[in-house]
Every structure is written in C-alpha cells, then in structure tokens.
Structure 1
C-alpha cells in the first residue's frame, strides 16, 4: 500500500517525530510506498536513503518563532500547507492508500482538516497529545501546575488563563480550537490510534460518537542487554525537558527532603531555577541518545514526576527495557508500564513528601536490585518492538482499506476497530 505520514517535522526533535521517522523506515523496509509530508525540515537523511519521498513546505513552527503575532497566520490557518497536501493526496489511489496524521498543531494548523475530509482516502490519526479535544493540547493548567478539570471550550475554560505565557495566547488557542472544530478536523479520521488507556479515556468524551479506535503502542529503541547484575545501583535520574509540566522542581525538592541527590539529563525553562534553588542537584544538560542510554542503564531509578497526563512516555519504557526501575506520578500514562512495588513505584502526583518516600524506598540497594531485575524481565517478556508497532499499523490500515473493521483483528498491539458501545468514564480530574 501507499502510506502518507503527515507531521509537523520531518526530523527527530522529540518522541512524536521519532515515531514518524522510525515507522516510515519500517514500513518502507516491509515493501510499502511511503511519503512523509511535513512543514518543517530538514528531513532526516535516512528517509531519502530508504527511498522514502519527502514533501516539505519549508516553513517554521511555533517553538521557533519569536513573535506569535507574526507567526499567527500560519498557526491559525496554514493555507500553503493545505494546498500542497491537497495536491499530494489527489495523486493517490484510494483503494491502496492511507493517510496517517501524527502532528499538525506546531506548524500545519487546522487548515488540513477540510483537505483530509474531502480527499477520499482513508485517514488515520495517532493521538500523541490532546489537541483534538483541548486548546492547549494537554488538559493541563500551567498556572496551577496541575491537570485541568475544566471542560475544553466551556465558559470556565475560556475565562481562565491556563497558558504558560499569557492570557492573550490562551485566547488565540481558544480561537484556533473553535476553528479546528468548525472546519471538521476531529471528524476527518476514519480511525483514531491511541497509545495508552488513560489517553483514550481522557479524549473519548470530546470526539465524535462514531469514531473508531485502535491501540498501537509506540516502538521502543532498545536492545536486550541482560540484567544489570549485582553491582551497586547508581543515581536517581530525570531525563527530558526541564519544564513545569514534567515536574522537575518536584523531584529536586523531594530529593532534598530525602537527603539524596537529584540528577537531571536535559534542559529547559526551569533548569536555571533548579540550579539556583537546589545547588546540590546535578544538571548534565542534553546528551546524545547513546549517552542517555548509558546514564539510564547505570541509574538506580528513573524519576518521572510528570504532572500532566502524557500520552505514552517513551523514556519510561526505555528505562524499563534497560533494567532501570521507574518512580512515576500516578496521574500520568507512564504508570501503565510500571508495576507498582515490583518494577518501580507510583507516587501521589504533585506531592514532594510522597515522592521523597519513594526515593527513600529505592535508596535501599537490595530493593533497587530486585526492582531492576523485575523491570528488565517484565519488559522483555512482551517488548514493544518496531515490528510489533508495524504489525499494529498494518492491521489498522488493512482494516480501513477493506472497509471491514473486524479485519484489523488483534494483530500485535492493534485493537479491533470499532466504535465504543458507550462513552467511557472520563478520568477523575476531568
């Protein structure tokens, strides 16, 4: 079949783009024709090497602009990208082609909605975040530093500033959300792929009642290195962007209360504050992927204190694959991969004392070694490999092309494509 992957970026700048690039390479290796359509380049050079067509609109994204006012036209309605996507999709044979959308909120905008609705080709969405339901994409209130309980688009939502920067920016988000809904972007996919159970529960009340769902886990880039052995466990490590929704200040405070050192691998807007308020913490900055794996493999535990839902945090799964237990917030989807008290620990989200207690528990070397062995064994007993991910995608694609939802079957991580019998209960915070 011919698969067109639609994304904001054609290079790896985070977990979403990594899934796009790796699935493109994997699908091409299985003999499918693959095209990557994206706004922002440069394209990962491996795509061209694999014979994958790349269509770039040559634009920027919201994270690179210095002025949202100047970027606003593209952010609200990216007409050039819509026109180019329409031209590309018009060349496809709908009997053997699928359009798979991974991202649109950083650069492509809601303008792709009408294109997708009228292209005549089956459309699949992977929900890496929550933009189809929530104006800021995360059901997260940056001002309160907690999950947001307001109904998206309600008067309570519109009247409250949940944005990380300003209320004016929040209102722009609300306007774009309204535009997205009016132009039918949420109705464009024939199948919606979710990557965690929590994510599906959170988003289900806000999408069309007849939407069909599948669960396809993201692939994890890891090799079975074996158990760590009997050596002394290392540090408590945070890996990722040091920003409010990830809970880095919570980790630093909990480590201080526990009398332990917090180690941070990454950078972000709260790095300087941590350095100033918690001089005992170690901030290592960004590292290349190989160095990150080495640090995670040597760690006593990965600390993942995220205070928003997340989608399917790849760092949590990569840590488990390396035999490193995970201490994870009970509000985020990362908890689904961690067996509490066996391969890691859950702690009450936003509570530094609860996190400190978990740190103290894993400060015991015997406990850390036992959880390390369990983390490794449980992950590799049923690993989220690239092949498993591709099996799931092919099951979803083939089900749509055959116009027979049951044909998606139970292939790997793909659930049967079917509309839910009733609305699932939303998470408690919603």
Structure 2
C-alpha cells in the first residue's frame, strides 16, 4: 500500500513523533510506499535513507514561534498545509492509499479536516493525546495541577481557566476546538487508533459512537536482557520531565516522608524549585535513550506519579522490560501495564501518604526481588515490539481501505459537490 504519514514534526522531539517516524521506517521496511508529510523540519535523515518520500513545509510550531500573535493564524488555520496535503492526496490511488495522522495540534492545525473529509482516500488518526475531545489536549487543569473532570465546552469548562499560561490562551484553544469540530477533522476519519483503554474511556463520550476504534499500543524499544541479577539493588527513580503534571514534587515529598533518597533523571521547569526545596534529592539531568535504559535497569523501582491521564507512558513499559517494577498513579494509563502487588504497586493519585507507603513497601528487599522478576516475566510474555505494532497498523489499514468500486463512487461524490456533511464511515469493526 501507499501510506501517507502526517505529523507536525519530521524529527524526533518526543514520544509522539518518535512513534510516527519509527513506524514509517518499519512500514517502508515491509515494502509499503511511505510518504512522510510534516510542517516542521529538519527531517530525520533515516527517512530519506529508507526510500521514504519526505515533504516538509519549513514552518514553525507553537513552542518555537517568537510571536504567538503572528503564529496564531497558522495555529488556527494552516492554509498552506491544507493546500499541500490536498495536492498530495489528489495524486493518490484511493483504493491503495491510507492517510495516517499522528499529530496536528502544534503546527498543522484543524485545516486538515476539510481535506480529509473531501478526499476519497481513507484516513486514520492515532490519539496520542486528547485534542479531539479536549481543548487543551489533556483533560488537565494546569493551575491546580490535577485532572479536569469538566465536560469539554460545557459552561463549567468555558468559565474556568485550565491553561498553563492565561485565560485568554484558554479561550483561543476553545475557539480552535470549535473550529476543529465544525470543519470536519473528526468526520474525515475512517477510524480512530487509541494506545490505551483509559484513553478510549475518557474520549468516548465526546466522539461519534459510529467511529470505528482500534487499540494499537505503541512499540517499546527494548531488548530482552534477562531478569536482573539483583532486583533489590538501586534507588527509587523518577524518569521524565520535571513539571507539575508529571508529579515530580509529589515524588520528592513522598521520598522525604518515607526516609528514602529521591533520584530524578530528567529536567524541566520545576528543577530549580525542587533542588531548593529538596536538597537531599539527586538530580541527574537529561540522559540519552541508552543512558535512560541503564538507569531503569539499575533502579530498584521506577516511580511514575503523573497526576494527569497520560496516553500510554512509554517509560513505564520500558521499565518493566528492563525487569524493574513500577509504582504508578492509579489515575493514569500507566496503571494498565502494572499488575498491582505483582509487578509493581498502584497508589492513590496525588496522595503523598499513599505514595510514601508504596515506596516503603518496595524498600523491602524480598518484595523488590519478587516484583522485579514478575515485571520482566510479564512484559516479555507478550512484548509490545515494533513488529507487533506494525501488524496492528496493517490490519487497520486493510480494514479501512475501500474496495476499488467504493473508491470510484467516493471519487465521483467528491468531484460532484463540495463536502456538506460528514463522510460515511463503517459502523462496526
């Protein structure tokens, strides 16, 4: 097949783009014709080396722009991106092509919606976050550092500032969300791919009931190194961005109460604050992927105290693959990978005492060894490998790709009139 991968970025800058790029490479390796379409460069050199056609628009994103006012036009409606994608899809055979959208919210904008809705080429979207349902993309209330329970666009939602910066920015997000809903991004999809059960449960009330849904977990980059020689060695470690939604302060405070050392691998806006408030903690800073894996392998346990839903936290899965148990918040999707009391422990989200209690439990050497063995055995009994991920993608692509006759009919409809209503989608898997 021909697969058009659509993302904000063409180089890895986080887990979302990492999955987009590495799955594109994997699909090309299986003989598919892959086109990688992105707003922001530079492009990962591996894409072209793998024979993938790369289209980069040379634009910026919301995090890199020097003028939010100037960037706001692109952020709300990226007309050049829509035109470029329309031209690309017009040259594709609709019964032998699938569009796979991984990211649109940081640079490409809702302008993709009318293009996907008008095209006879089927499109799927991986829900790496929650932008299709929530204006700020996370069901997260930044000012109070807690998950948001308000219904998107309800009176309670509109009246409350959940944005990390200002209420004016929140209102901009609301406006863009309404624009996205009214211009066909969701209606332009033939299927939605989620990466965890929690993600599906959280978004289902706000998405069309007849939109087919497939769970295709992200792949984990890990090797089976064997169980750890000593699962009771090492410290309790936090790996990731030092920011409120990740629960970094919660970890530091729980470690203090438990009388255990807190080790941070990562960096972020809270680092200086945490270093000042918790001088007993150790801060290793950012590490490259290989060093992160070594840190996870050497740890007694990973502590993952995130206070928002997450999508599918890869750090949790990488830790289990290393044979390291995980202490995880019972609110976030990471809990799905951890068997409570077997390969790690759940604690009450946001509860310092509950987290401290879990940390004390895993300070027991016998408990740590037992859970380390279980973490390794359970992960590698059914590993989330790239091959398994690609198998899942190919199954979805086959199921959404229309027959040649259906494609010709859809092309005729698209050519006869401008898109006035939602494109029909299958009612069942």
How far apart are the structure 2 equivalents of 1:16 and 1:165? 23
Match of 1:414 in 2: none
- Answer yes or no: is 1:51 the counterpart of 2:56: no
Gaps of 5+ in 1: 405-416, 422-430
Equivalent residue of 1:81, what SS?
A: helix
Aligned partners of 1:201, 1:141: CA distance in 2, in Å?
19
Query: Can you list the C-alpha shifts for 1:275-301, whole angstroms capped at 9, x where unaligned?
Result: 111111111111111111111110111
Match of 1:181 in 2: 181
Length-normalised TM-score, structure 2: 0.93
Mapping for residues 83-94 of structure 1, pairs under 5 Å: 83-94=83-94
Q: Within 5 A, what are the aligned runs for 1:7-406? A: 7-230=7-230, 232-402=232-402
For residues 220-252 of structure 1, give each alpha carbon's deviation from its aligned partner in whole angstroms, at most 9, with x where no partner exists: 000000000236410111111111111111101
CA contact (8 A) 2:263 2:284 kept: yes
Q: Residue by residue, what CA displacement relative to the aligned partner does 1:154-175 show, whole Å, maximum 9, x if unpaired?
A: 1211110000111111011011
Give the conservation status (yes or no) of the 8 Å contact 1:213–1:419: no
Contact kept? 2:99, 2:123, Cα under 8 Å: yes
Aligned length: 409
Q: Is contact 1:263–1:283 with CA below 8 Å preserved after alignment?
A: yes
- Looking at structure 1, the residues matched to 46 and 126 of structure 2 have their Cα atoms a distance apart, in angstroms, of 22
1:267 & 1:68 partners in 2: Cα distance?
Answer: 25
Q: 1: CA distance between counterparts of 2:198 and 2:189?
A: 20
Q: CA deviation at 1:100?
A: 0.3
Per-residue CA deviations over 1:360-393 (Å, capped at 9, x if unaligned) read 0111111111111100000000000000000000
Could you say what secondary structure the match of 1:143 adopts? Answer: helix
Is the Cα–Cα contact under 8 Å of residues 231 and 324 in structure 2 kept in the other structure? no
2:70 and 2:264 map into 1 onto residues whose CA distance is 34
Paired with 1:420 and 1:90, the residues of 2 have a C-alpha distance of 28
Displacement of 1:313 in angstroms is: 0.6
Does structure 1 retain, via aligned residues, the 8 Å contact 2:232–2:366? no
How far 1:419 sits from its partner (Å)? 4.7
1:131-157 deviation line (CA, Å, top 9, x unaligned): 000000011101121111111011211
In the superposition, relative to structure 1, how do residues 397 and 209 fare at CA in structure 2: closer, same or farther (>3 Å)?
same
Alpha-carbon contact 2:338-2:344 (below 8 Å) kept: yes
Please state whether the residue corresponding to 1:339 is helix, strand or coil: coil
1:426 matched to which residue of 2? none
Give the unaligned 5+ runs of structure 2. 405-424
> Which structure 1 residue ranges, 4+ long, deviate > 6 Å from structure 2?
none
The Cα shift of 1:21 comes to: 0.9
Moved more, 241-250 or 227-236: 227-236
Question: CA–CA distance in 2 between the matches of 1:189 and 1:167?
Answer: 31
1:329 and 1:335 in contact (8 A); partners too = yes
Superposed CA RMSD: 1.4
Report if aligned partners of 1:301, 1:327 keep a CA contact under 8 Å in 2.
yes
